Amino acid sequence: MKTPLHSLSFPKFGLSVEDTALMDDRSLVVVKWNWDYELAHSFQKECVKLLQEHPRLRVFIVCSHPRLFTMGRGLQRPKKGQAQTLTEYTGDGSDLPYPLHRIERGGGLTFHHPGQMIFYPIVKLNPRTLSLSKMIDDVFQFTSETLSLWGLKGTNSENELLGLWKEDRKLASMGIAIERLTTYHGMALNFHTDLAMKKAMQTLSPCGITPSTYAAVDEFVFLPEGSLEKFAADFLKRLKDGWQ
């Protein structure tokens, strides 16, 4: 049976029907690796419009992008009593080795590359059932639980800086935008190490912190070929169980 989700024009955004699946009668899953960033961003905006008319619907995007940087609306402000010092990127992008995209999400400069698993949840927030803080906590929890299944235990989001951490190393970043209570943008999990991006980051401070703070999952556990796709499938199963 067709739903309003079928009204989305997939080819316009570089997608084929094979990149999409229905999780249930109200949830569309899109999986697209090395997706052009502008096309992915435009697709998210199209989904946001759809959810304004059909707030019960949800779109879950799992993807990666070519090497690039994004710049949000500004770095995380320290909470009262915290003395964290973050370094803001103030350049215009001309000093960066890869394209810079200025976008609507919260946060500062961050990076993307094909070895990441990016999760964009397009959902309508509800103060009683799914607040922004609960959504963020849930996404980190589902990711942590999936990582545990893969042998990487002890990750958590209990840090004064937003993210998923393994001790003092940051594995995932989160930046959300909200339009009329509908979320877009999301989480980037560093899964495979990208040496070219790692080199590019040496003179930068992604999310305001030193580049050596960042780590990838493959620094802690062995990841055979095809792991990213399999991990994404496991993550989506956990998501389905957690978000009925």
Distance CA 95, CA 43 (A): 28
Q: 98 Cβ partners below 8 Å, 6+ apart?
A: 66, 67, 68, 69, 197, 200
> How big, in percent rounded to 5, are the helix, strand and coil portions of the chain?
30, 30, 40
Q: What is the pLDDT of residues 194-239, one digit of tens each?
A: 999 999 999 999 989 999 999 999 999 999 999 999 999 999 999 9
Distance CA 225, CA 172 (A): 21
Q: What is the pLDDT of residues 77-87, one digit of tens each?
A: 655 545 557 88
Spatial CA neighbour of 126 closest among 175, 176, 163, 180 = 180
The H or E element that residue 123 is part of is: none
| CA distances in angstroms from 179 to 38, 121, 163, listed in the order given | 18, 13, 22
CATH number where 136 lies:
3.30.930.10
> Average per-residue pLDDT in the chain?
94
Residue at 4 is within a domain: no
Residue at 217 is within a domain: yes
Query: How sure is the predictor about 127, in pLDDT bands with cuts at 50, 70 and 90?
Result: confident
Residue at 108 is within a domain: yes
Residue 13 Rama label (left phi>0; alpha psi -120 to 50; beta):
alpha
Residue at 1 is within a domain: no
Q: Which residues are registered as beta bridge partners of 143? A: none
Token pair belonging to 177: 């935008």
Distance CA 79, CA 61 (A): 31
Spatial CA neighbour of 191 closest among 213, 166, 171, 174 = 171
Residue at 233 is within a domain: yes
Please give the residue range of the domain that contains residue 213.
12-76+84-242
pLDDT at 1 over 70: no
The predicted structure's pLDDT at residue 238: 98
Residue at 49 is within a domain: yes
The predicted structure's pLDDT at residue 11: 96
Structural domain count, the chain: 1
Q: What is the pLDDT of residues 56-109, one digit of tens each?
A: 999 999 999 999 999 998 876 655 545 557 888 999 999 999 999 999 998 899
Residues 216 and 117: beta-carbon distance below 8 Å: no
The predicted structure's pLDDT at residue 104: 94
Residues 215 and 190: beta-carbon distance below 8 Å: yes
The H or E element that residue 95 is part of is: none
Say which amino acid occupies 122: I
Token pair belonging to 226: 């095809």
Instruction: Please return the burial class of 227, using the count of CB atoms within 10 Å of its CB with bins 0-12, 13-18 and 19+.
Output: middle
Q: What is the pLDDT of residues 162-189, one digit of tens each?
A: 999 999 999 999 999 999 999 999 999 9
Residue at 115 is within a domain: yes
Residue at 6 is within a domain: no
The predicted structure's pLDDT at residue 230: 98
Residues 14 and 39: beta-carbon distance below 8 Å: yes
Which residues participate in catalysis according to the annotation? 207
